[in-house]
Amino acid sequence: MAVVPLPELQRLAQNLANERHDAYSERALSRAYEEYLARRRTPIAPFRLRVGEREYPTFYDLLAEANPPPGPIELRLDPPAAPGSAWEFLRPFQKMATDEDGTGMLFPLGDGPPVRTVQRFLLREHYLPRSRADEDRAAAGGSRVTLRTFLDDLRVGIRVCRSRGLLPFCVAVLTYYPEERVSYELDLLRSLLLADPRAGRLPAQRYVRRPARLSWHVDQVVGKGDMPLLASRCLQVLVESPGLTAVEVAHIFGGVRELMDSALQGLAARGVVTFDRRTGVYRPRLDAFLPPTTSSGVRAPEPPPAGSNPALRTSVQELIAAADARATCPLCGNPLGADHQGILCAKCQAEVSAA
């Protein structure tokens, strides 16, 4: 698959960011572009985008469109990949369509019926133009150009990218099913759907499927954009496991152990993972992601983000309600009651507390 050329990105950044994309920003974009292309991930299949009757060869063609046509944004694998090891930790599909309210349909491979999901847009690797004046002001203690990486639905994400001059290189389409959340990562420079980094590197029995409601809270923490990319990737892998060592995490992401140790220790300092010095295992603190409880022991609802779309909030609330109805204990697999507030069932919680 052809790579989007750098001059095309430079022109797009100039059109979107104007004076923020000066000569200093152009050099920074060139470095970010080359660094990203040097890191290769295993592809599953190329994809194309379609809105209404119009096809877009790349995401940047859609981003450059000031007024894209209304209707669902359709992502189609062309050609679709056959089921197999490349899809490990993912649900195989041939096409997904995202409606304007952030819900959508995922069309599985074969003749199965489409599945209704809620889809959100998470930045993984990107370039945000910063002029020389922006960097000098930040170095002197002034405000810095920042960005929250959790961008709601795809259309909202595109609008944010256009308003900030943001160029995504890799994004995750967070797909919330009633019983789980699956993250599909897209290489936008090459127009490729990427395999999960755990595929072929982590035994399937080490994977723990978490309820969609828990994944939603984890994604909100990651989407604040205040932790390094490697740390956020480590956190999401740890949450979907019973615990991993730094060596196992290094095997998943292909880095040196010392680098992974640094990222994992940073997560421990944030209080979202624990470290067992006897075994060297890092484990997720699942309770750290849930809303605080009130004095009566009931979890307080989280306030909606300022300016958020009521239709999107309704979709997420419906999803969480469906997830609660199907929630199971991640250790023993027994169903949890609709009013159960914890992650583990009472039996497993007692055994963990005793241990």
* Residues 217-251: tens digit of each pLDDT: 999 899 888 889 999 999 999 999 999 999 999 99
Q: When comparing pLDDT for 316 and 133, which is higher?
A: 133
- The answer to whether the beta carbons of residues 137 and 143 sit under 8 Å apart is yes
- The answer to whether the beta carbons of residues 44 and 193 sit under 8 Å apart is yes
Neighbours of 57 (CB within 10 A): 12
Neighbours of 145 (CB within 10 A): 16
Tell me the average pLDDT across 150-167.
85
Q: When comparing pLDDT for 182 and 71, which is higher?
A: 182
pLDDT band, residue 134 (cuts 50/70/90): confident
Per-residue model confidence as pLDDT tens digits over 303-340: 444 444 544 544 555 555 555 555 566 556 666 665 56
- The answer to whether the beta carbons of residues 311 and 102 sit under 8 Å apart is yes
Is the pLDDT at 112 greater than 50? The verdict is: yes
Per-residue model confidence as pLDDT tens digits over 272-285: 999 999 999 999 99
Q: What pLDDT does 67 receive? A: 84
pTM to 2 decimal places: 0.80
Per-residue model confidence as pLDDT tens digits over 27-47: 999 999 999 999 888 999 999
Is the pLDDT at 292 greater than 50? The verdict is: yes
Q: What pLDDT does 30 receive? A: 96
Residue 205 identity (one-letter amino acid): Q
Q: Which residues, 6+ apart, have CB-to-CB distance to 154 below 8 Å?
A: 73, 98, 102, 119, 121, 173
Q: What pLDDT does 319 receive? A: 53
Q: What pLDDT does 145 receive? A: 60
Coil/strand/helix, residue 71? coil
Q: If you average pLDDT over every residue of the chain, what do you get?
A: 84
Is the pLDDT at 142 greater than 60? The verdict is: yes
pLDDT band, residue 14 (cuts 50/70/90): very high
Each domain of the chain, given as residue ranges in start order, spans 1-196
Coil/strand/helix, residue 73? strand
Q: Of 17-26, 127-136, 145-154, 234-243, which range is least confident?
A: 145-154
Q: When comparing pLDDT for 332 and 124, which is higher?
A: 124
Q: What pLDDT does 298 receive? A: 45
Q: Which residues, 6+ apart, have CB-to-CB distance to 319 below 8 Å?
A: 118, 176, 178, 212, 213, 216
pLDDT band, residue 96 (cuts 50/70/90): very high
